[in-house]
Structure 1
Amino acid sequence: MANLNEQKGTMNDALNQKEAVFLRHKKTISIAIVAIILVVAGIICYETYVSGPKEQEASTALAKGQEYFSNQQYDKALKGDGAGYVGFVNIASDYSSTDAGNLANLYAGLCYANLDKWNDAVTYLDKFSPADDQMISPSAVAALGNAYAHVKQLDKAVEYLKKAASMADSEAADNTNNSISPIFLLQAGEILESQGKKSEALQIYQDIKTKYLNSAVSQDIDKYIERVSVK
């Protein structure tokens, strides 16, 4: 079985190249999946990946798909290569009772996002079952929020981005995750702005300023506050 530790960073390159374009207003907002740069590093927390034959089999299949994913061969990663690897879609279906099968849903959703097939991205990201962790699950939920933004379900987009921030905070020291929560909230605020909901966006921006003082996002938050405060 491939060493899961060796997979660190391989998803990073593919995700960091992708930035979501909020289609309704042609306004670029950073896609939440870039915040999953620590997903693979966090996989080692799923100790049950090696707890049984079926789980081990699924994890081995997943590793081959991850290789295609890291090489940006998203179609092969999704649907298989005709040479033994069956694809994330089939792994998710065939091993639905395993943690590796669950993670295959996340990978499939990210593949579809990279292929700009946002309805399919929504379908698979929604199938991923979050756990109680500080990075992987919140980032997956935020990715779903961004996917909803692309299919113009803006209220759901805001809902899931805010949920992702809350999830990340709940597992962090002092209930404050300065790394990813303010990123998700900033995205939610931008979407609210695009809907003309300036007062709701203002509240989010003010929360970022007061709660996430040590985050990079807070350093520039005043310009967002000023923008929505203009009458």
Structure 2
Amino acid sequence: MATYKKRGYKPKTEVEKQVNIEEESTTAEVFNTLDETASKTEDFVAKNQKYIFIIIGLVAVIVLGSLAYKEYVAKPKQQAAMNDMFQAQKYFDQAVNGASKDSLYNLALNGGEGKFGMLDIIEEYSGTPSANLANYYAGTAYLRLKDYKNAVKYLGEFKSNDEILAPLAKGNIGDAFVQLNQNDDALGYYEQAAEMRDNEFTTPMYLFKAGTIALELGKADKALAYFERIKNDYANSTEAAQVDVFIGKATVLANK
């Protein structure tokens, strides 16, 4: 056990003298080791100074290059993409809210009046937020045009953290798989869509769709769990108004 020694303390016994010598020796060794390490570090820096400066320079170039790219390339590219996307988005909105839906969805996809369509935006402005959003519009347009394989393709490319769009994209893929008679795939996407966000719009909607597909697949227990969740957690949703009927169906099938 170490003991505290006052400054100027002189060892009295031979044992204390020996301990004192060993402590001084250990301290000297520590400082010698530190000196040797520092010396080796200095030697290493001296010998490799050229390469160290090159590495530092490369890091600086990468950081500055990234900042410059964002400021002088990415931002202008995104702005141009937004401008070119305006007419295609207008066609899409008109198709959702008006007549001549098929022709308007085609215009939204392929462009019109000398303006870009969503497919052009995806190709010309790859990597921008606008191109990403164009994947959602394109996939949804193909879904409305009953081109379900392309709907799956483009909606699958869309990435988002948005409260509504993120689950809608997954749910739309589920809708496409239903039309392709791939109900197992559809169920998986409906379940993803239901769990992605917790809100009064998309969550009960996709729980309901998941429940109905689960019933068709003979998975009554799973369907019942989804329907009961709607009843208990989303009582004010549109789906809740009719969910009791489906709870009854699922209960009967689950008990067979």
> What TM-score results when the alignment is normalised by the length of structure 2?
0.63
Q: Which residue of 1 aligns with 2:85?
A: 62
2-structure distance, mates of 1:151, 1:94: 30
User: 1:1-231 alignment to 2 at 5 Å?
Assistant: 52-72=75-95, 73-81=104-112, 83-131=113-161, 133-169=162-198, 177-230=199-252, 231=256
Structure whose residues are more often helix by fraction: 2
1-structure distance, mates of 2:176, 2:83: 28
Q: Deviations over 1:6-63 (max 9, x none)?
A: xxxxxxxxxxxxxxxxxxxxxxxxxxxxxxxxxxxxxxxxxxxxx8211111111111
Letter in 2 for 1:59: M
1-structure distance, mates of 2:192, 2:220: 20
Partner secondary structure for residue 96 of structure 1:
coil
CA shift, 1:213, in A, is 2.6
CA shift, 1:80, in A, is 2.0
Partner secondary structure for residue 161 of structure 1:
helix
Instruction: Report runs of 4+ in structure 1 exceeding 4 Å deviation.
Output: none
Letter in 2 for 1:152: N
CA shift, 1:103, in A, is 0.4
> What TM-score results when the alignment is normalised by the length of structure 1?
0.70
1-structure distance, mates of 2:209, 2:167: 14
CA contact (8 A) 2:85 2:116 kept: no
How many residues align? The count is 172
Partner secondary structure for residue 93 of structure 1:
helix
2-structure distance, mates of 1:61, 1:77: 12
1-structure distance, mates of 2:240, 2:229: 10
Query: RMSD value over aligned CA atoms?
Result: 1.6
Mind listing any 5+ residue stretches in structure 1 that lack a counterpart? 1-50, 170-176
2-structure distance, mates of 1:130, 1:158: 21
Question: % of aligned pairs identical?
Answer: 37
Partner secondary structure for residue 248 of structure 2:
helix
CA shift, 1:179, in A, is 1.9
User: Which structure: larger Rg?
Assistant: 2
1-structure distance, mates of 2:239, 2:174: 19
2-structure distance, mates of 1:62, 1:138: 23
CA shift, 1:91, in A, is 0.8
